[in-house]
Amino acid sequence: MASTFLHCKTTASISSITRLNLHGSSSLNIPMKVNMPQNQSFWATVNADIEAHLERAIPIHPQLSVAEPMHQVIFSTPKSMASALCIAACEVVGGERDKAIAAASAVHMMHVAEFTLDDNQLSAQQKRKSMVQDIGIARFGVLPLGYELLATSDNPMGNNSEKILRAIIEITQAMGPQGMVDGQYWKMQCKGSYGDELCHIGWIDHVCEKMDGGLCSCGAACGAILGGGSEDEIKKLRRFGMYIGMIHGMMKRGIDLGRVENEVLEMVEGLKTLALKELEYFKNKDVDALKSLVDARVSQF
Amino acid sequence: MASTFLHCKTTASISSITRLNLHGSSSLNIPMKVNMPQNQSFWATVNADIEAHLERAIPIHPQLSVAEPMHQVIFSTPKSMASALCIAACEVVGGERDKAIAAASAVHMMHVAEFTLDDNQLSAQQKRKSMVQDIGIARFGVLPLGYELLATSDNPMGNNSEKILRAIIEITQAMGPQGMVDGQYWKMQCKGSYGDELCHIGWIDHVCEKMDGGLCSCGAACGAILGGGSEDEIKKLRRFGMYIGMIHGMMKRGIDLGRVENEVLEMVEGLKTLALKELEYFKNKDVDALKSLVDARVSQF
């Protein structure tokens, strides 16, 4: 089954690129302790701005009872790195933060929709909040709300619609059946532990590419598009997001499965090299905050 | 509880408009027999075109196992009137059918997402197809796929992005927490039969406005926008869609609850008058197919 699964991959997948670029690094036994990233204050500010935007955009209307469980779902889901990457990518290409704040919020909604789909995660995080009965509806509502936030963020002259539409396409493709939906499908197939026939290195690789990598890639690309980046900048930041998402996804999922084998660590090292390579293009810009994300020890953002 | 619920409504809701326009018609005891609409061949062609577009747009990739349950969910869900209305509205304002076919397909996906949310409907329709285990993922995937179909439908010159973005906004608002998500929330509250405290006339009215009305209204507006309609045409067709959706929603939900009281029939009569009034604006156009939808006896499209 695992080999069938590996054969299912597209020929030019990230995984194949990764393997071609693997370095036999001697520093594979990195400590598993979870540290805070450097540039923490930058990321803290970015996340606070996204949260403030979401609070303004999604008030609790007393008239609409469904708004309350939705609000709870949106604000109780842990942040992903992808939303913050969206803002950072926008700023790196010279855009102002407010250009990307709606997209960053939409990316958070996509993460919320995926997060709440997994009842195991829900039981640990959100079931405590007595919102079980409305969770299905709230989960159903966050996706259109995310698209709405982004689609209605055009300026009053309506002359930014092309960029916004492009960002919507990035998000739909990252979310859809060739993106996170596929990752979610495969994630659900593995209910066992790492080492089982299906929960193989190929499984971690594929799920992380489609889920963690896909979301961060899409976040970074959206930020670069809306910030007015060139095609080259968009492409490089999209790839940077993919590598960063995969690095943290592989570490997290590896840890969750109880083992981080050398094979996982080798792949992570390769991804780090690739991520740093993408940043070389921006050598005249301040990319310290982005660079700090390459630290694989940060398993939670 | 029912009175609290009624107080929750916005002041300028469709329901209040409807009631102001109610006619004390003597023809309230209309037969409940389900007939096929007039202009059946027009609607059959429209639906066949939408289905063909979906078949082309959503092939089953043997590489992606999640594609199969998604395909089944999309094609086994009964059609709603909203997608066909999208095409018809586009043509009424002078647009060619292919201008609205992606939006009509996206509207179908929204309907699928809502339809599959209700496990009661699922058990009757789709559980027979042994797809229960993947239904959650498939349901999660249809929304981004619908937005993707629409967002990527721009012409090669990319100069239709403003209209497409506007259609996306129509869909997100119809789907979101002030639209179908709110309707779904209230629909779930009523698990009893008509006449219970909560499953009151106000409940049917509100749920139909947010769900059946909202989806048809959005379908018609999207078709008019993409077909190049004027602001007046868009407004009239959006309202026509709302009335048509509510007419059929109220009849269907009334029947499902086991009773169609005079109060429901009175409201339906009022909605029919309002729907026909909107069509007067298009007196120089061929609106026979649209007019045929006013027939409340057609409870399934």
Q: What is the ipTM of this complex?
A: 0.75
In chain A, the percentage of residues whose pLDDT exceeds 70 is 70
Query: How far apart (Å, rounded) are the C-alpha atoms in residues B233 and B47?
Result: 23
**Domain housing A186:** 2-25+34-292
Look up residue A105 and give its two tokens. 């919020």
* C-alpha radius of gyration, chain B, whole number: 19
A277 to chain B, closest Cα gap in Å: 31
Q: What pLDDT is stored for residue A218 in this prediction? A: 97
Ramachandran angles phi, psi of B84, nearest 5°: -65, -35
Q: What pLDDT is stored for residue B63 in this prediction? A: 52
**Per-residue pLDDT tens digits for A106-129:** 999 999 988 877 665 555 545 544
| Residues on B contacting A at a C-beta cutoff of 8 Å | 8-10, 63-67, 70, 113-114, 117, 134, 136-137, 140-141, 143-145, 147-148, 151-152, 154, 158, 161-162, 164-165, 168-169, 171-173, 175-179, 181-182, 184-185, 188
Residues of B in contact with A66 (CB under 8 A): 177, 181-182, 184-185
Does B221 map to a domain?
yes
Q: Is A98 helix (H, G, I), strand (E, B) or coil?
A: helix
Q: Which residues of B71-87 are buried (b: 16+ CB within 10 A; e: fewer)?
A: bbbbeebebbbbbbbbb
Q: What pLDDT is stored for residue B61 in this prediction? A: 59
Q: Could you tell me the pLDDT band of residue A59, with boundaries at 50, 70 and 90?
A: low
State the Cα torsion A149-B88-B163-A114 to the nearest 10°.
30
Q: What pLDDT is stored for residue B194 in this prediction? A: 53
Q: Does B8 sit within 8 Å of A65, measured CB to CB? A: yes
pLDDT higher than threshold 60 for residue A252: yes
Q: What pLDDT is stored for residue A5 in this prediction? A: 29
Intra-chain end-to-end CA distance of chain B, in Å? 33
Does B298 map to a domain?
no
Interface test with A, best of B181, B191, B215, B231 (most A CBs within 10 A): B181
Higher pLDDT, B281 or A181: B281
Single-letter amino acid, residue B151: A
A19 to chain B, closest Cα gap in Å: 21
Q: Does A134 sit within 8 Å of B117, measured CB to CB? A: no
pLDDT higher than threshold 90 for residue A234: yes
Query: How far apart (Å, rounded) are the C-alpha atoms in residues B258 and B252?
Result: 10
The most confident of A25-29, A255-259, A280-284, B153-157, by mean pLDDT: A280-284
Q: Does B137 sit within 8 Å of A117, measured CB to CB? A: yes
DSSP letters along A213-236, please? IHHHHHHHHHHHHHTT--HHHHHH
Q: Does B185 sit within 8 Å of A137, measured CB to CB? A: yes
In chain A, the percentage of residues whose pLDDT exceeds 90 is 36
Residues of A in contact with B172 (CB under 8 A): 144-145, 147-148, 151-152
Of A49-63, A223-237, B164-178, B272-286, the range with the lowest mean pLDDT is A49-63
Q: Could you tell me the pLDDT band of residue A18, with boundaries at 50, 70 and 90?
A: very low
Q: Does B63 sit within 8 Å of A10, measured CB to CB? A: yes
Q: What pLDDT is stored for residue A197 in this prediction? A: 59
Domain count, chain A: 1
Shortest CA distance to A298 belongs to which of A32, A27, A83? A32
**Per-residue pLDDT tens digits for A266-287:** 889 999 999 999 999 998 898 9
B173 to chain A, closest Cα gap in Å: 7
Q: Which residue has the tokens 């054969």?
A: A7
Does B99 map to a domain?
yes
pLDDT higher than threshold 70 for residue A226: yes
CA angle in degrees (0–180, nearest 5) for B292-B253-B50: 50
Q: Taking residues A99-105, what's their average pLDDT?
A: 94
B232 to chain A, closest Cα gap in Å: 20
| CATH number of the CATH domain containing A200 | 1.10.600.10
Q: What pLDDT is stored for residue B247 in this prediction? A: 93
Single-letter amino acid, residue A264: V
Q: How many CB pairs under 8 A join A and B?
A: 131
Q: Taking residues A141-160, what's their average pLDDT?
A: 85
Per-residue pLDDT of chain B (301 residues; tens, 9 = 90+): 333 322 333 333 444 433 333 233 333 333 333 344 556 787 788 888 888 888 877 766 555 467 777 888 888 888 889 999 999 999 999 999 999 999 999 999 999 988 877 665 555 545 544 455 566 677 778 888 899 999 999 877 767 888 999 999 999 999 988 888 888 877 777 765 555 656 677 778 888 999 999 999 999 999 999 999 999 999 999 999 999 999 999 888 777 666 566 778 888 999 999 999 999 999 889 898 899 898 866 544 4
Does A68 map to a domain?
yes
Interface test with B, best of A118, A172, A191, A210 (most B CBs within 10 A): A172
Q: What pLDDT is stored for residue A154 in this prediction? A: 82
Does B203 map to a domain?
yes
- Pick the residue from chain A with its C-alpha nearest to B138: A181
Look up residue A190 and give its two tokens. 């593995």
Does A145 map to a domain?
yes
Query: How far apart (Å, rounded) are the C-alpha atoms in residues A104 and A83?
Result: 4
Q: Does B184 sit within 8 Å of A8, measured CB to CB? A: no
Q: Does A188 sit within 8 Å of B137, measured CB to CB? A: yes
CB atoms within 10 A of CB A135: 19
Does A298 map to a domain?
no
Residues of A in contact with B145 (CB under 8 A): 172, 176-177, 181
pLDDT higher than threshold 70 for residue A194: no
Higher pLDDT, A134 or B189: B189
Interface test with B, best of A168, A222, A226 (most B CBs within 10 A): A168
Q: Could you tell me the pLDDT band of residue A142, with boundaries at 50, 70 and 90?
A: confident
Interface test with B, best of A58, A185, A198, A207 (most B CBs within 10 A): A185
Q: Does A168 sit within 8 Å of B137, measured CB to CB? A: no
Does B106 map to a domain?
yes
User: Which of A154, A179, A185 is closest, CB to CB, to B165?
Assistant: A154
Query: How far apart (Å, rounded) are the C-alpha atoms in residues B210 and B93?
Result: 25
What does the mean pLDDT of chain A come to?
77
